[in-house]
Structure 1
Amino acid sequence: MDVLARWASGQDAPDAEGRLRLADLDALVGHLHRACTPAQAMDWMCSPNVQLGSRPIDVYRTQGSAPVIGAIQANAQGAFG
Structure 2
Amino acid sequence: MKKVGAATARVAADDPWAAFRVQALTSVFTGRELADFAGVSPSQPSRWASGHERPGPSAAAALIDLEHIVARTRLIWGPDAARVWVTSPNVYLGGALPIDVLRMDGPSRVLEALDGEMWGGAA
Please state if 1:13 is matched with 2:57: no
The percentage of counterpart residues that share the same residue type is 35
Instruction: Give the counterpart of 2:103 among 56, 61, 64.
Output: 61
Greater Cα radius of gyration, structure 1 or 2: 2
Offset of residue 9 of structure 1: 2.0
| Matched pairs, number | 80
Report which stretch shifted further, 55-64 or 18-27.
18-27
If each structure's strand is expressed as a fraction of its own residues, which one has the higher value? Answer: 2
TM-score by length of structure 1 reads 0.78
> Aligned pair in 2 of structure 1 residues 58, 18: CA closer, same or farther (>3 Å)?
closer
Moved over 4 A (4+): none
1:22 aligns with 2:63: yes
For structure 2, list consecutive stretches of 5 or more residues without a partner in the other structure: 1-41
Identify which range, 4-13 or 16-25, moves more after superposition: 16-25
Give me the CA root mean square deviation.
1.8
- Segment drifting more, 28-37 vs 15-24: 15-24
Inter-partner Cα distance in structure 1 for 2:99 and 2:62: 14
Return the TM-score normalized by structure 2. 0.56
Which structure has greater helix proportion?
Answer: 1
How far is 1:21 from its partner? 2.2
Of residues 95, 100, 113, the one that matches 1:71 is 113
Q: Any gaps of 5 or more consecutive residues in structure 1?
A: none
